[in-house]
A and B are shown apart, each in its own frame.
Chain A
Amino acid sequence: MSADVLAFWFLAIVLVGSALAVVLTKNLFHAVLWLALALTGTAGVFLLLDAEFLAAVQLLLYAGGIVTIVVFAIVVTERLVGERLSQTSRRIGGGAVVAGGVLALLLNAMRGQPFPAARPEMAGDLTRLIGETVLTRFVLPFELLAVLMLAALMGAIYFARPDE
């Protein structure tokens, strides 16, 4: 139990720290690298929650896929614009007030709720359970998701294609 608590606090510090770096760092390329760390930290949180399969998906799709796409976009736009990678923020005070307000609202809504402190035992292997649920009860959304991904990727290629 103690190791669990220690791992949670370590991951929480990594996650919050890298998330802050994503929104505060000046260099856009560094922000993407911090985002990769944040997404990896989230995969660690999934591992703590016994969702090994989701942690693997998170690493493959999110940390691998999205970070690569964003780096490509930065490289392409950098070449087009020829500016430096540094970016500025605006209205930091107002943004901090609104974000802090939303956080206070969320924490206030959570306070005093009867959340469970202990986890129920899961029957059997979670990865196996996820696989069986996806391919039986949720097979239709699963197939629709495949169509959505195809449409989205074709749309992205259409938008980003070179001019004839």
Chain B
Amino acid sequence: MGLQAYLTLAAVVFCIGLFGVMTRRNTIGILLGIELMLNSVNINLVAFARYSGDVTGMVFTLFTICITVAEAAVGLALVILLFRVRRTVTADHLDLLKG
């Protein structure tokens, strides 16, 4: 398989994640969509690294995986905190900043 096949697969998964982020009402559901998008970016990085014969892209993927895990931990802690304060998960109800 050529590089283009991997890039196409990553693009499809990215757009599915984007769809999830835009349409989900539940905050945790939105976070799952973000995970899908970040994941497809990792596929791109590894594919480019392999097809250009340079290991740097794989090292960068290692870093992005770690940062994504940190993001998920903080994001879910915020969700739990939001539940405590507002008693809701629905993103539409979290409109404190709406003027």
A28-B29, A49-B6, A92-B23 given; name 16 further pairs at CB < 8 Å.
A22-B20, A22-B36, A23-B16, A54-B46, A62-B39, A66-B69, A70-B32, A73-B28, A77-B80, A95-B19, A103-B12, A106-B14, A120-B53, A130-B59, A156-B74, A156-B76
Contact check, B68 vs A110: say whether CB atoms are below 8 A apart. no
How many chain A residues touch B (CB < 8 A): the figure is 86
Known contacts A57-B62, A133-B59, A160-B77, A62 near B46 by CB under 8 Å: no
- Annotate A125-164 by CB proximity to B: 1 below 8 A, 0 otherwise: 0100110011000100110010011001101111110010
How many chain B residues touch A (CB < 8 A): the figure is 70
**How distant is A10 from chain B, measured CB to nearest CB, in Å?**
12
Contact check, A73 vs B79: say whether CB atoms are below 8 A apart. yes
Which B residues are within 8 Å of any A CB, using their own CB? 1-9, 11-20, 22-26, 28-29, 31-33, 35-36, 39, 42-43, 46-47, 49-53, 55-56, 58-59, 61-63, 65-74, 76-81, 83-84, 87-89, 92
